[in-house]
Structure 1
Amino acid sequence: MYYRIHIQGHLASGLQDSFAGLRIEQQEVGTTLFSGTLPDQSALYGVLLQFIRLGVVLLSLVSLETS
């Protein structure tokens, strides 16, 4: 499954390695966009759990089927 996850704020560059496999784009408006393929739903939960632990605000999550 391909995901686009939009969060409020920017992450410190040292934390970005924790999201291996996802492309990370810091937006000029002060948000960050994560995008990429995750192997299963448990991997998605792992990413979301990292956001919770960091205390970031989830703005949106979109999933798209990949073929």
Structure 2
Amino acid sequence: MNNPYAYEIRIEGHLTDQWSDWFNGLVINFAADGKTTLSGMLADQSALLGVLNKIHALNLTIISVKRSDPEN
């Protein structure tokens, strides 16, 4: 059985919070350095893959993907 995890995905470029629903409700934060962070809970690896595929479809560069236990 898969458990949800908290994820933080950093990408190159600017996304506004208007994209949040399209990215499974992840919180979107744009930094002054030109990078965007998507963060929040994803149900399983399938949900993560769906988000990564959407990033790819927008031709955005993934800088990092960080996973942590929901308790942390």
Please give the TM-score of this superposition, normalised by the length of structure 2.
Answer: 0.83
1:24 and 2:39 are equivalent in the alignment: no
Counterpart in 2 of 1:65?
Answer: 69
Q: Number of aligned residue pairs: give it.
A: 66
C-alpha distance in 1 between matches for 2:23 and 2:56: 14
Q: Which has the higher helix share?
A: 1
1:34 and 2:38 are equivalent in the alignment: yes
C-alpha distance in 2 between matches for 1:21 and 1:58: 18
In the TM superposition, what whole-angstrom CA distance separates every residue of 1:9-64 from its partner, at most 9, and x where no partner exists?
Answer: 002565x1311321000111101001000011100000000011110000000000
C-alpha distance in 1 between matches for 2:40 and 2:60: 19
| Structure 1 runs, 4 residues or longer, greater than 3 Å off | none
C-alpha distance in 2 between matches for 1:30 and 1:42: 28
| Structure 2 residue runs without a partner (length 5+) | none
1:3 and 2:7 are equivalent in the alignment: yes
3-state DSSP of counterpart to 1:18: coil
Please give the TM-score of this superposition, normalised by the length of structure 1.
Answer: 0.89
